[in-house]
Amino acid sequence: MTLIKSISGIRGTIGATQGNNLTPIDIVKFTAAYALILEEKYPEQNLRVVVGRDARVSGEMVNHLVCGTLISMGVNVLDIGLSTTPTVEMEVLHQKANGGLILTASHNPAQWNALKLLDENGEFFSAQLGQKVLDKAEQIDDIQFCSYDKLGTYQQVENAIDRHIEAVKKLPLVDCNAIANANFSVAVDCVNSTGGIAIPKLLKALGVQTIHELNCTPNGIFPHNPEPLPEHLTTISEFIKTHKVDVGFVVDPDVDRLAIMQENGECFGEEYTLVAVADYILNQQKGNTVSNLSSSQALKDITLQHGGQYFAAAVGEVNVVQKMKDCQAIIGGEGNGGVIYPQLHYGRDALVGIALFLSSLAKQNCTCSQLRQSFPNYFIYKDRMQLTENINVDKILEKMKQLYSSNEIIDIDGVKIIFPHEWVHLRKSNTEPIIRIYAESKDMEAAKNLANTIKEHISKCIDK
């Protein structure tokens, strides 16, 4: 059983003992600490915070604790209830709130929950602010709660998802007429979380008439592992083949990751969600793109084809967003199916991903598999190497940089070694003595061989 504290929030399994799992005491501690950081940022304001959650079973309990703690700290709560991560992010902007809390453990299994921290821009806390929250939470005995006459207020806010959908529809590159005229048959798997509320409603708003809803009851009973990976998507794959569906969409419990299924029942490839959306946007508008270091080179390839510049960011949404702002990227995200479209907001958003993908598919008048075949083909192999506690991982990574010094090296987040048609990215874990090894090449066997070669070099470095 686990409690993981990081600069982006706190997550853990529900129950058991304080400090080891995500218990009510931990939830109160970190919510109060978050409120204190907002007070420091806005000392003269009546604080307003948007709260939303996914549908997991523990969500209602966590919501009561979070909202009650915020009120006890003098914060006015705007509770949008069952929602999606990108919807909460957009609602912070709509409400002109001081921040937001998303109660979701994202793709983690049902026994997990988490608090994700947003600033006044509806974006994840910076590393500096996140660390301040962690530090404040450790000083819980010194936290001053409000007297009865200084308590915050509570308000239930309706229609946040509807506002989100309307904003998506108004985007110039979302073509509802083309989508409606294409007469798509669409299947969706929303893993019985809040995507079951948002995605069918979005598809209807975009003009889709034939919608097959799989696992769209938001009761938090996940019918399969909620991470949208190919091995977890066999049911929708068979459904698409049996019912001759044009395209399938699968989201994680908080709807910030999007996986696409082709008409043949095969996965489009999570790495290629961003690639497809970026290609569509770059066809309309020249500009720059960003993804994290562990994402496919295919995005770089198509960006250069369209005359733009590609930039790599350290792993983590907050890092991708900052890099996008720095280089004025018009589209970016992460290779896990996370699309960030700044014209809407700076956050991974499956709703805008679906709208832009369907617009592209409709305008190109092709099948999903034909669209997928139009992109450069790469394969990523993901591995790890267990190390002993006494091994200095940073020194190992430095030795790898020296060994491959004739190659292009990116070291903003671990070590990424660039070869002519492939790459390998080495990152150390923050929680255990392992090196994560991601390799990409033109076929899976080549990617695996590259990863194994790197592991052999690491072993030799250790033995010396």
CA distance 123 to 168: 18
Contact 31, 101 (CB under 8 A): yes
Backbone dihedral angles phi then psi of residue 405, each to the nearest 5 degrees? -65, -20
Contact 75, 67 (CB under 8 A): no
| Confidence grade of residue 434 (pLDDT, cut at 50, 70, 90) | confident
Query: Could you tell me the residue ranges of all domains in the chain?
Result: 3-158, 163-373, 379-463
Between 5-14, 332-341, 401-410, the lowest mean confidence (pLDDT) is in: 5-14
Q: Is the pLDDT of residue 140 over 90?
A: no
Tokens of 130: 């996140």
| Confidence grade of residue 430 (pLDDT, cut at 50, 70, 90) | low
For residue 1, the model assigns a pLDDT of 55
**Residue 56: how many CB atoms within 10 A of its CB?**
31
What is the tens place of the pLDDT at every residue in 282-297?
A: 999 999 999 999 999 9
CATH 1.10.1280.10 fits domain 379-463: no
For residue 44, the model assigns a pLDDT of 81
Give the CA distances from residue 141 to residues 138, 181, 236, 431, in Å, rounded to whole numbers and listed in that order: 8, 61, 50, 27
Residues in the chain, overall count: 464
Q: Given this chain, do its domains 3-158 and 163-373 carry the same CATH topology?
A: yes
Domain 3-158: CATH architecture, name and number where available = 3-Layer(aba) Sandwich (3.40)
Please identify which residue in the block is written with the tokens 């947003």.
Answer: 118
What is the tens place of the pLDDT at every residue in 253-278?
A: 999 999 999 999 999 999 999 999 99
Class of CATH domain 163-373:
alpha beta
When pLDDT is averaged across residues 435-450 and rounded to a whole number, the result is: 95
Contact 32, 140 (CB under 8 A): yes
According to DSSP, the residues that pair with 329 across neighbouring strands are: 288
Tell which phi-psi region holds residue 207, choosing left (phi > 0), alpha (psi between -120 and 50) or beta: left
CA distance 299 to 272: 8
| Confidence grade of residue 393 (pLDDT, cut at 50, 70, 90) | confident
Backbone dihedral angles phi then psi of residue 276, each to the nearest 5 degrees? -65, -45
Contact 83, 63 (CB under 8 A): no
If you average pLDDT over every residue of the chain, what do you get?
94
Closest listed residue to residue 56, CA positions, set 252, 258, 230: 252
Between 93-97, 107-111, 177-181, 185-189, the lowest mean confidence (pLDDT) is in: 107-111
For residue 387, the model assigns a pLDDT of 80
CA distance 223 to 234: 12
CA distance 352 to 227: 19
For residue 17, the model assigns a pLDDT of 82
Q: Is the pLDDT of residue 99 over 90?
A: yes
Closest listed residue to residue 161, CA positions, set 203, 210, 223, 213: 203
When pLDDT is averaged across residues 442-458 and rounded to a whole number, the result is: 95
Tell me if the pTM is above 0.85: yes
| Residue-wise DSSP of 146-176 | PPGGG---EEE---HHHHHHHHHHTSTT--H
In the 8-state DSSP scheme, what is residue 189? E
